[in-house]
Amino acid sequence: MIHRFAECTLDTGRHELCREGEVVHVEPQVFALLAVMAGSGGAVVSKDELVATVWNGLNVSDATISARINAARKAVGDDGSAQRVIRTLPKLGFQMVAPVEVEGGAPSRPVAAPAIRYTTSADGEVIAHAHHGAGPPLVRVGHWLSHLELDWDCPVWQPLMARLGEHFTLYRYDQRGTGLSTRATGNLSLDAFADDLAAVVEANGLSRVAIFAASQAVPVALRFAATHPEKVSRMALYGGYSVGRVYREAAPGEVDEETILGLIRAGWGREGSAFLNAFSALFMPDATPEQLKSFVRIQQQSVSAESAALLRQAVDRLVVEDDLVHVTAPVLLAHAREDAIHPFSQSQRMAARLPDARLMMLDTRNHVPLPQDESWEKLMQAVVSFCGGGDG
């Protein structure tokens, strides 16, 4: 959604604020506050409404709210004296007084969802894949929780797909066992996962590609790059690892496998369950209620609780230490500083062993990249620039 007001443009799809044509960088809470005010239709927004939406109902002080209001005003060229854009109504709340023009959807998103196609992997399993955008080929490697159709409308994944689709032809697929691909979980080996990636590249007639992979898709991408060096030009890897959880010494604050498996079995796909609350705290602690609701839907439609647990056990046992020296493509390793799922030390370990690697630490605690997080924009710009999609 795009809102225009007071010489400003607020694009919630791209998570971008511009004033007089120049990008204005703001904190995630300030951006969320502006989005609430711009979308209010001129109605008074109470402090309770702001707290529920911007702070997910957490207990915050009046001073904190005032500080974010002041920051929002400053970002759009307003101040507490003039109040030309956001007006304070004592004991009532706040009101967007500047006229707001609204465009229905972010222009970066294609109107129609891309067609779903199917191919077979080396062992005969069916893999669903799709592509959109324009530009050099970039393959997003399949991961633990995805669904090609539902991801298209997911408030976490849609902004990422839209941004990358502006610079690349983005190819993506559902990992075996999930989404629209085969639900069989008989062969969940690293080689099988890498064969699925190879099958998608082959099915689309791609001779050489850049790769974007996150979390457990990282060892899959590394195995593919090590065994098919002629197929890979560059790789941008986020929040990954070279030694699976069960084979490495736990880092401070890192969650163990039994904890995750227990939570999956107890509350997979149930809104408000202990699993969802823990999933939020561990994988994306800064997620909004809308983003969490979308993930519940993907859980329900993508994979059963039993299969989710089997997949989790498989990816916790992936190891690619011996593959690293055989990766000839340049690699960007981006990682959240406070990642509770795979510690930053894993990317440090890979950077030390890969022949051509650049390490990028992101100041965030979200394992799943969230568009309202300031680090998301930095990650997107780095991926676009590194993988050859333009200036970002």
| H or E element at residue 314 | helix 305-315
**Collapsing DSSP states into helix, strand and coil, what is residue 145?**
coil
Residue whose structure tokens are 């915050």: 60
Rounded CA separation 336/230 (Å) = 30
**Collapsing DSSP states into helix, strand and coil, what is residue 89?**
strand
* Ranges for all domains in the chain classified under CATH 1.10.10.10: 2-103
pLDDT score of 288: 86
Rounded CA separation 141/213 (Å) = 5
Query: DSSP strand E in 215-355: where?
Result: 232-238, 331-336
Rounded CA separation 296/299 (Å) = 5
CATH architecture assigned to 2-103: Orthogonal Bundle (1.10)
* Ranges for all domains in the chain classified under CATH 3.40.50.1820: 117-386
Residue 373 neighbours by CB distance under 10 Å: 24
* Mean pLDDT, 10 residues at a time, the chain of 392 residues: 90 86 90 90 85 82 93 94 91 89 55 85 96 94 90 89 91 95 91 98 97 98 98 98 91 75 77 71 85 83 87 94 98 96 96 98 94 91 86 40
CB distance 285 to 366 below 8 Å? yes
Which fold, 117-386? Rossmann fold (3.40.50)
User: In terms of residues, how long is the chain?
Assistant: 392
pTM of the predicted model as reported, rounded to 2 decimal places: 0.72
